[in-house]
Each structure stands twice: as C-alpha cells, then as structure tokens.
Chain A
Amino acid sequence: MSWFSSTLRGVPLARLRGGNNEGVLVLSIAILSVAIGLATPSFWSLGTLLNVSTNSLTNLVFAMGVLIVIISGGINVSFAAIGIFAGYSVIVLANSTGFGASAAWVGFAIAAGIGLGLGMLNAAAIAGLRLPTLIVTLGTQGIIRGALLSVIGSKVIPNYPPGLDNLSTNYLITAQGAASQGAGATRLSVLIIPAILICVLVSLLLRYTMVGRGIYAIGGDAESARRTGFPVVSIQVFIYALAGILAGIAGMMHVTQVRLANPYELVGGELDVIAAVVLGGASIFGGKGSVAGTVLGVVLIALIKSSLILLGVPGSWQRAAVGLLLLIGVTAQALSAGVQRRRIDLLAESAP
C-alpha cells in the first residue's frame, strides 16, 4: 500500500506520516483507543473490534466509490440513493419473482448491475456534458430516490428470501462471553470478506492500472492529462460506472445486514462517508487519496461512534461529533496546505 512506498526526500518522520497523512490517522486511532479504554475498560474486547467492523462494512464499500470520484477531482452525493435503490429493488424482485431467492450472490450481482445503470446517469452528465459534479449528483440523487419511492415502492419489507436471510446470519467469528451490547454485537458478519476484497481490488486498480493512474492524473491536472493523451472522457465514465457498481453492492450489503428493506434509509448518511474519505487524506481538489487512508477514516468514524455509545453519550451526539471531526480534520489539512504554499502564490486564493 502506498504508505510504505512513499518517500519524501528520505526524511524518516515524513515517511511515517505517509503520503496521505495515514500516519496521523493511525496515531489518532491509537490515542483515541487508549483514552476510551482507560475510561471504559470494556472497550478493549474482541466484541468492540467486531462491532466496529460490522458497523462499518457498508460505509467502507461506499467509501471506495466516493474515493475514486474524489481523487478525480469531483464529488458524488448520489451513492446512498443508488445503494438503497439497488438493495431495495433486489428484495422486491426476489420476493415477487423468486429470482435469486436461494443464491445470495445473484442478488448482489443484480444490485451491482442496477448500480452500474444508475451510475451511467452520472457518467453521461459529467463525462459527456462536463457539468459540475456536485450539482449533477445532487440531481441524480433526487431522481433516483424519487424513482425508488414512487415506482418501486415505499413500504418497509421485513420478509426476506431465504438465500439472503441465511447470509445475514452467516457469521465468521462468534466471540464468547458476549459484551454488554445486545445480540449481534459480538459476531463478525461474513460480508467482511467481500468488503475487504473490494478494498484490495480498488487499491490495485488505483496503483497498478493505467486507468487508476489516469484517475490521479485527471485529479491532479485535468488539462495536462488531456495533453498527455489520457482518454479523459472514458476514464470519467469508468469512474462513475464503478462508483455506481460499488454503491449498488454496498446498498445490498446494508439491506442484508439490517434484515429489513427500508427505502428511506441510507440517504442522509452521505456525510459520514464523505467525511471518512476526506479525513482519510483525500483532497477535495482531487489528485490525492489512498485506500489505506480511507479505510482508516471509516474506522476512525466508526470508532468514535462506538466510543460515544460506550461512554454513555446519547446517540444524538453522534452527528455533531462527526461534523466537528470533519471540520477539525479539514482545518488541519487547510492549515498545513497553507504553510506549504509558496510566496508567489499569494494571489491565488483558495476561497473563491
């Protein structure tokens, strides 16, 4: 992964910090863990680890999709809508036609396909027409969510096809001596495997393929990328198509884990994912970001949420906490970027 190979003139401390501040994140997580552990000793249990992992699965896969978009210099807020659309549709489909009822992976494949289709909407507007990404994805979010609720259905579905039902209770690890949380807290869902697999694949994509390097190039300097001969339009289509596929899979994961298909979910939780990606070192301006950093970002946010619960802080504090964390992280990034900026750049203002 990138944090081992990046070199900043061989300065050892800088190497520890990592190309995307991964080192800082690891440190923060470590400090946080120690602090919480001191306050609540029950934190240091396998239960907590599994709890955190299970809770962050869906966000992890979403984050991968968001990551590639952000590295390319854009921003995507439609992923949650795509996710729930895909997940819910599969349940409806499975329940009504029996298709994919027995084999869970078929459901996932369908979800991925739906995500691909929806992602192409984004691709057409952004790569084809060169419209600003925030606004386009806000628009597609509206369209997709509206379509889901009006066309597919707006009811919560508690009945699951057997294949998926089994999957949702398929656990990899079951810890003994359950912690004080309720059932399900000390078990690690088998879905962690595809999640990790996806992370690895995305990492390989970014690092070892021309498309991946092209994503970085576009985010770094789109004009230069064009001049150098990168097929910018094709790469952008790829980005948004892949983001759609990943969102579809993540949505499916969520729906499986929760064991309830609620079409009102996921939308509204976009910020947690975006915050995780930004905290993980990806620059909103594009050109920077890594899978490792994003994973750490997701873990950090999940950790904070778990800690708050453990500390007895009401769940209503979670949102404020994430918001504050995002602001702190972004401020730190902005300040360190400001220090590095050279004198001549006085005229280029970062705030329009």
Chain B
Amino acid sequence: MNDMPARVLRRMLAERSLVRLAVLTLAVLIVFSLVSSTYFTVINFQSMGFQVAEVGLLSLAVMLAMLTGGIDLSIISVANIAGIVTAQLFKSTGAATAEPGQAFAMTVGFILIGLFAGTVCGVLNGLLITRLRITPILATLGTLQLLNGIAIIWTGGQAVYGTPNVFLNIGIASIGLVPVPVLVLLTAAVGTAVFVNRTGMGLRLRLIGANPTAARYSGLNNDRVLMVTYVASAFLSSLAGIIIAARSASANADYGVSYLLLAIVIVVLGGVNPMGGYGTVTGVVLSAFVLQMVSSGFNMVGYSSFAYQIAQGAILIGVMSLSALARRYHVEGRSTLLNRWRRTEPSTAQPPEGKRDEEAHQPS
C-alpha cells in the first residue's frame, strides 16, 4: 500500500500514449505562450478551466461506453435534458427571486432532480441495448433524437431562463485559484478512475470490452455491466448538462451539439481504443486539457472557432492514422499481407461497424 504512488507513477510512465500526451501538452503550452503574451497567465488558465469541464465530463461518459466496445451518441441530449429539468424547476418555482437560504436549498434539490432525470435516460439506453439487443450505435442514435425531440417539445424550442445566483456561481466561482467546474471535473474524473480501475464492476467492464465471449464464459454477467455502463455514462453527461446550464444561465435543447465530435476526439487522443477494453482516465482528462489549450490558443491568435473544428477533425484522423500505421508495422511477421490474414491478436483489419468478429485461428 505504501508504494502505491510509485506504482501508479510507474504504470503511468509505462503507458506510451500518456507520455506522448504529456509531451504534446508541453509542446502546445510552449508554442502558444511564445505566440501570445497573454497565454501563460493565471487568468487564461482559469478561463480554460471554466470551459473545459463540460466537454471533459462528456468525454468521460464516452470513454465508459467505448471501454465496453460500444458507443454512446446520446450524451449531448442527455446533458440537455438534465439542464432543462433543473432550469425548468427553477423557472416554475421562481427561484431566481427567492431568499438566499431558500435558493440554496432549491438549487441543491433541483440539481439532484436534474441529475436523476438524465440518469434515467441512461436506463433507457441500457434497456434498449441489453433487453432489446439493439446495437449501441443505433440505440443511442435513436435516443439522441428522441430525447432531443422531447426536449424541444418541452421547451418549445426556446431557452429556459430563471436560474438563481447560487446556481450561477457554479459556473463562475472559483475556490482559491481553481474554478469550480474544474473541481467538479476532477472529482468526477477521480471517481471514474476509481470505478474503472479499482472496482469489481470496472474490471468487468474492461473485460467485456476486451473479449465478450471470454467474459461470458467467465460468468461476468454482461447485461448488468452494460446497463451500469450506460447509466454511468448518462450520469456524467447529466453533470455536464448542469454545468452547461450554470455557465450559460439557461438551458436549451440544442446546446453543445458540437461537443459530440470534440468528446470523441478527446477520447481517441487520450488513448482509448474504440474497439474496447483499453483506455485511461488520466489520458482522457489530459487530452481534454490539451484540446482546451488548443482552443484557447486559437482564440488568442485570432483563429475562429471554425478553425478549431478543423483542428479537431484533423487531430482525430491524424491520431487514429498514426496508431493504425504503428500497429501495422509492429506486429510480428514478414509482410502486411501476412498480418492481414493471420488474426492471433487484434489486427488492423476492422470489421464492419456494429459487428465484432471474434474469430481467432487456433492451431487445429
């Protein structure tokens, strides 16, 4: 137990993707600090901190689904549902004009209700995937639409205003130098890391993503674990939704639509394998910060947010290409043709989306 920090550090260093990320972080930091004098300042970092939490939480949500070899496309819709529920409650009870003490209690209560509402959406996803056996892409594509539609119906397409100051503090206050959203993100990250790395359920999650057949033969109860995964993903998305609402002082059915791409970029850059079984929370969080730094840097240099979108897409494809190429040349064997036919270990050959090809050639 006493050598745990050392052990953790050693394990982190062993992860080449983490080392690469750390180097990347430094590189981005240096480049932008050189280019803009206001980059390497407390104010700028604080500003980044306020912005990174939303998408960081969403990335953690996507990571969980990807660890099991699936995907959750409905994260934004779930986030908005949570935000809308909370905001509606505020609006309809006139919380914005309530006494401070009352406002505080209402804030806490309504946030909890909002989180609950979003988490229930995760149950819906889980049911579709485990009971009705719909593949995660389609299931979450459907719920993305359905939940978005419900949100639009409820809000009439308008933003919902009326949040009390206590609530808004979440989005603008800092404890010491650290913005509150960052604290929320880090707490959630630690919680997720503990869940994924140190709990029995987290271990089951990884094993199911690594080899669902062997998981079945080891009695890992795939259905229950998948349900937990999508519920947890929805919870994290709901947290993100609350933060979005706090920062925008309102809730809207269509916020954050561009976050889906960003979340997936973050997750892939952070070293998570979309086919399942592999990924670290540290990588995802670090990657979220890196991308936020790039966004901030672009902003300072005068690039538009559209340029940032281009960068996201480019980073995503770039990272995946690099790891695909690296894998192709590192696998043992004489030629790439050989590697394509022999599948004793996960190969670069991708089965079609939605299908997991578990065929491995055992000598027989």
Contacts and interface: CB of A to CB of B under 8 A. Distances in A.
A146 B321 contact: no
A331 B134 contact: yes
Interface in A249-280: 268, 271, 274-275, 278
Contacts of B63: none
A349 B320 contact: no
B308 interface: yes
Contacts of B80: none
B136 A352 contact: yes
B133 A330 contact: no
A274 B141 CA distance: 10
B138 A317 contact: no
B130 interface: yes
Contacts of B69: 352
B70 to A, nearest CB: 5
Given A286-B352, A350-B135, A316 B153 contact: yes
B105 interface: no
Contacts of B134: 327, 330-331, 334, 351
Contact of A319 (B132, B141, B145): B145
B108 interface: no
B152 interface: yes
A227 to B, nearest CB: 9
A327 B129 CA distance: 11
B309 interface: yes
Contacts of A194: none
Given A129-B325, A131-B317, A134-B353, A319 B310 contact: no
A250 B161 CA distance: 38
B304 interface: yes
Nearest to A352: B69
User: What's the interface size class on A, roughly?
Assistant: 35 or more
Contact of A139 (B139, B152, B261): B261
A334 B130 CA distance: 12
A204 interface: no
B274 interface: yes
Contacts of A141: 261, 313
User: What's the interface size class on B, roughly?
Assistant: 35 or more
Interface stretch (B21-29, B48-56, B188-196, B343-351): B343-351
A136 B261 CA distance: 10
B143 interface: yes
Most chain A CB within 10 A, of B308, B316, B325, is at B316
A330 B70 contact: no
A103 B92 CA distance: 57
B80 to A, nearest CB: 12
Contact of B313 (A140, A322, A348): A140
Given A74-B353, A323-B144, A334-B134, A351 B129 contact: yes
B109 interface: no
Contact of A352 (B212, B317, B352): B212
A327 B149 contact: no
Contacts of B308: 146
Contact of A138 (B129, B149, B264): B264
Nearest to B149: A320
Contact of A322 (B145, B355, B357): B145
Contacts of B160: none
Interface of A: 72-75, 125, 129-136, 138-150, 154, 219, 222-223, 226, 268, 271, 274-275, 278, 284-286, 314, 316-324, 326-327, 330-331, 334-335, 338, 347-352
22 contacts: A72-B352, A75-B353, A132-B275, A132-B350, A132-B353, A142-B310, A146-B308, A146-B311, A146-B312, A146-B313, A150-B310, A154-B306, A278-B138, A319-B148, A320-B150, A323-B142, A323-B147, A324-B142, A326-B138, A327-B139, A349-B222, A351-B226
Report, nearest first, the 9 A-B pairs whose CB atoms are least far apart.
A320-B149, A73-B352, A323-B145, A146-B309, A323-B146, A142-B313, A143-B313, A352-B69, A319-B149
Given A75-B353, A142-B309, A147-B310, 5 more contacts: A129-B325, A138-B260, A149-B304, A319-B149, A327-B142
Interface of B: 68-71, 128-130, 132-139, 141-150, 152-153, 156-157, 208-209, 212-213, 216, 222, 226, 257, 260-261, 264-265, 268, 274-276, 303-304, 306-314, 316-317, 320-321, 324-325, 340, 348-358
